[in-house]
């Protein structure tokens, strides 16, 4: 017997290649969510993909909700780490927001996972990033929470809507822009007496650019924050 074969598996060593771990489960969950949408993640699909039983997954993860939050957190952590440091507070704030927008665009399920886990780690990462820039901006102590909360809730609102649009489009087996087109058509058919404003928006809805609109709203809020700055 060679000395290699005699090396004991230390408790500290990485597990054997095929074995389960929280990370492997989270990684597989992300893959499932990315190509099956919000309800692509089931313990049955997961145990098949990981070639194991449902019970094994429960040994590493307490329940489906926490698994979804963990998957969401993996995406958010990457996204926040990718934001360049050193730029002006306003630029950084815009980078954080656009990073989140793009992440949710690429993984629509992140939008609803984020919505459903208030105060949890993914949200904390975002609050921290935004909060530090709001401080650098010179917002007074007691106005900081309002500023951060407003930015956060706006970003969550947009993210949630993007997630919902993606989910509904998927259910009808069309793509997101076709779904928005069908909404636009419905809006055009609204009673002109009751819904003049919404009707007038139908064309806008067909031709708009989500990302640009998102930025416009962000700038509106930033201008409100700047407005309230001391001196």
State the DSSP code for 190: S
The listed partner (DNA, its own copies, none) that binds 158, CB under 5 to 8 Å by sort, is its own copies
3-state secondary structure of 216: helix
The correct pick among 31, 34, 38, 52 for binding DNA (CB under 7 A) is 52
Q: Which is nearer to its own copies, 75 or 156 (CB)?
A: 156
When asked if residue 131 is in the footprint of its own copies (CB under 8 A), the reply is yes
The CA angle 39-165-128, to the nearest 5 degrees, is: 80
Report how many residues bind its own copies under the rule CB under 8 A: 57
CB of 56 to its own copies, least distance (A): 24
d(CA 114, CA 120): 9
d(CA 208, CA 200): 13
The answer to whether 165 and 180 have CB atoms below 8 angstroms apart is yes
When asked if residue 152 is in the footprint of DNA (CB under 7 A), the reply is no
When asked if residue 20 is in the footprint of DNA (CB under 7 A), the reply is yes
When asked if residue 41 is in the footprint of DNA (CB under 7 A), the reply is yes
Name the segment binding DNA (CB under 7 A); options: 1-9, 56-64, 76-84, 223-231. Answer: 56-64
When asked if residue 63 is in the footprint of DNA (CB under 7 A), the reply is yes
Long-range contact set of residues 137-140: C-beta below 8 Å, sequence gap at least 24: 137/89, 137/90, 137/93, 137/225, 137/226, 137/229, 138/229, 138/230, 139/225, 139/228, 139/229, 140/230
Report how many residues bind DNA under the rule CB under 7 A: 20
d(CA 74, CA 27): 9
CB of 106 to its own copies, least distance (A): 19
Q: Compute the Cα dihedral for 48, 53, 55, 59 and give only its sign.
A: negative
Name the segment binding DNA (CB under 7 A); options: 2-10, 58-66, 136-144, 176-184. Answer: 58-66
3-state secondary structure of 204: helix
Residues 6+ apart with CB under 8 A from 15: 21
Residues that bind its own copies (CB under 8 A): 112, 115-119, 124, 127-128, 131-132, 135, 145-150, 152-158, 160-161, 164-165, 167-168, 180, 183, 186-187, 190, 194-198, 201, 204-205, 208, 213, 216-217, 219-225, 227-228
Residues that bind DNA (CB under 7 A): 15, 19-20, 41-45, 51-56, 58-60, 63-65
């Amino acid at each position: 017997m060679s000395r290699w074969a005699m090396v004991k598996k230390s408790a500290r060593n990485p597990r054997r290649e095929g074995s389960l771990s929280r990370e492997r489960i989270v990684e597989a969950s992300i893959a499932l969510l990315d190509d099956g949408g919000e309800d692509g993640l089931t313990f049955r699909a997961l145990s098949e993909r990981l070639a194991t039983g449902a019970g094994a997954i429960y040994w590493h993860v307490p329940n489906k909700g926490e698994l979804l939050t963990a998957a969401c957190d993996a995406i958010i952590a990457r996204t926040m780490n990718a934001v360049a440091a050193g730029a002006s507070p306003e630029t950084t704030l815009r980078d954080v927001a656009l990073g989140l927008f793009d992440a949710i665009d690429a993984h629509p399920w992140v939008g609803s996972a984020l919505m459903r886990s208030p105060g949890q780690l993914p949200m904390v990462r975002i609050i921290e990033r935004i909060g530090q820039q709001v401080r650098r901006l010179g917002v007074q102590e007691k106005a900081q929470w309002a500023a951060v909360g407003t930015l956060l809730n706006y970003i969550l609102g947009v993210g949630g809507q993007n997630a919902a649009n993606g989910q509904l489009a998927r259910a009808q087996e069309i793509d997101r822009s076709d779904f928005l087109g069908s909404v636009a058509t419905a809006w055009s058919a609204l009673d002109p007496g009751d819904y003049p404003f919404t009707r007038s928006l139908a064309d806008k809805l067909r031709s708009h650019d989500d990302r640009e609109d998102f930025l416009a709203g962000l700038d509106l809020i930033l201008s409100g924050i700047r407005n309230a700055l001391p001196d």
